[in-house]
Structure formats: C-alpha cells, structure tokens
Amino acid sequence: MPNSLGTSDDEDQPVGVILARMRRAKRLTGAELAATVGMSQPKISRIERGKGLPDPEDVGAIARALGADDGRTQALMDRAAQLHDRMTDWRPALAGLAGQQKTISDWESTASVVRAFEPALVPGPLQTSGYAKAVLQAFQRLVSPTGDHLTESALLAAVSARVKRQEALADRSKSFHFIVGEAALKRRTYPAVEMLAQINHLRDIVRRHANVKIMVVPDGAEIEIPTLHGFALFDDNLVLVDLYNTGLISRSRQDIESYRQVFAMFEEHATEIEPLLDDYEALYIDALRKPQRD
C-alpha cells in the first residue's frame, strides 16, 4: 500500500535515494537535473548520496522538478527537516578527505560568522601546510582501522584543500573567532621547527586580518565544563563536532544553542593569544638550539 510519499517502497529510504530514483525514472542525468533547478551537479550528487544534510528547500525544488505532487513534495521536505533535528554521523572515506575539506570550506564561505574551538590542535583554517600534513597523517589510522593508508597524492590533495580554506579569512565581510586550549601551542609530538612555523603563521594571521580573533584558554583555567572535543559553529545554522574517527553535524536549534553556550563559557576564560605566542616561540627556538650545544 502506498505510503505518504506516494510509493510502497519509500518507507525508511533516505531522501537522497528517493530523489535519485525519481530522477532515473524521468531519464534525466544529474547534470540535466542540476540545470533545471539551478544547482550544481556536484550538489545534486551530494544530496542523492546523502553527503551532509540536505536543505529542505533544495529537496522541495528537486522533487517538484521531478514531477512530485504537493503532498509528496511536502513529505520529502518534512523528512529532510527531521534530519536537521539530530546529530548526523559525517564520516569521510580515506579517498574523500579532500572532499570533506571542500565541504567545510563551503560552509565557511557561506557563513557570516564562524566560531571554532579546539582543545589541543590549531584549527584547520589556521594551519600551515606542514602542520596540516602531520595532523592528517596522525588521524588517518583512526579513520581507517583496517590499516589502509592515504596515498601521497590523496594526502597532498587533502592538505591543499585544508590550506585553501584560509582564503575565506581574507573576506572582511566575515567574522572568525577561534579559541584553542593552551595544549594546541605545545604539541611536542610535532617537530619544533614545524611548531615554530605554525606559531609565526598564527601571529601573521592575527596582525593581517582584523576580522579574525584568536584566543587561548590557559592551562589551569577554572572552567565549569571540561574541554572534551573540538567544534565549529557556522552562523546559527550548523554545528560540526570533531571526534577522533568521525565528525557529527547538526542543524538542530537546541544543539546549536548548546554549543554556543559552551563557546561562550570558554570565551570567558580565554585570553589574547599573542603573549603566549611569544613564550612558545622562545621555547621552540631554544629546542632547536639545544642539539648545537651538545
């Protein structure tokens, strides 16, 4: 018996799967559908494959273009809206790490205000290429528990895509506010020369971009809640939560408000980064000189 979407086999099917089936029934390519609804072909592909959370309005536009009646269109839009009310696993395949960075870049480029917190790492848009490569290499073992490794070309593509995210910082119409734990400045697992380059890069960003604020939660700060994991807020529309082997995304107003409150708590205990940059610059310069003294 047909369900609310108008067919007997739509129940529990992802929205993207339903739209892809409707498109094929109309004998349209993804590019042809994209031209009809005024979207890019990659965006149509992401929606059909369930990469990220589809905008209900986009789902409605696609459904109508594919001939869905008002009832079926609304049912699909409602289902897409429900996805925004819960945390969704966002786990990239190894080959898709560059694509993941490009998706985050899209979120950063369309947002007016970006807030991000990292307890022990420099945030992605602030990383040097050497630092980014070290981070991606370290985490690939968790992303791929089978032991598969990124090819050099895939790794470099991911690094390039991450570094390219810095272009958004130059847009003075946007505001970026980053908070890091002091642990991010003393990553002894990375070479001293790489950390020194990263510290100089952070100082350069602070001085060149008036729309970028970088703050540090010092060691020993008495914060009400622990600094468990990193996260980023894109306006009041989306929160991305970083876990060890995956990410979680949500457009739920409740989730977004919760993480805004967490960010505000960290901000209360954070200080300007430049004095600490001077301290850690001296530390890493000293570390580089030590071998010469021995």
| DSSP string computed for the chain | ---TTSSTT-TT--HHHHHHHHHHHTT--HHHHHHHHT--HHHHHHHHHT-SPPPHHHHHHHHHHTT--HHHHHHHHHHHHHHTTS-EEE---GGGHHHHHHHHHHHHHH-SEEEEEESSS--GGG--HHHHHHHHHHHHHHH-TT-----HHHHHHHHHHHHHGGGGGG-TTSEEEEEEEGGGG--TTS-HHHHHHHHHHHHHHHHH-TTEEEEEE-TT---SS-----EEEETTTEEEEE-SS-EEEE--HHHHHHHHHHHHHHHHT-EESHHHHHHHHHHHHHHHHHHHH-
Weakest mean pLDDT among 50-59, 89-98, 160-169, 279-288: 89-98
Backbone Cα Rg of the chain:
22
Is a pLDDT exceeding 60 seen at residue 29? Answer: yes
The model's pTM: 0.72
Q: Does residue 1 surpass a pLDDT of 50?
A: no
The pLDDT value recorded for residue 10 is 58
Q: What is the mean pLDDT of residues 80-104?
A: 75
- Name all domains of the chain by residue range, CATH numbers in brackets: 15-83 (1.10.260.40), 90-293 (3.30.870.10)
By mean pLDDT, which of 94-103, 111-120, 192-201 is the weakest? Answer: 94-103
229 — pLDDT class (breaks 50, 70, 90): very high
pLDDT grade for 113, boundaries at 50, 70 and 90:
very high
- Asked whether residue 3 carries a pLDDT value surpassing 70, the answer given is no
**How does pLDDT run across 141-195, given as a tens digit for each residue?**
666 655 555 678 888 998 999 999 999 999 999 999 999 999 999 977 788 999 9
- pLDDT reading at 137 higher than 90: no
Q: Specify the pLDDT at position 291.
A: 64
Averaged pLDDT for residues 200-219: 97
* pLDDT at position 95: 45
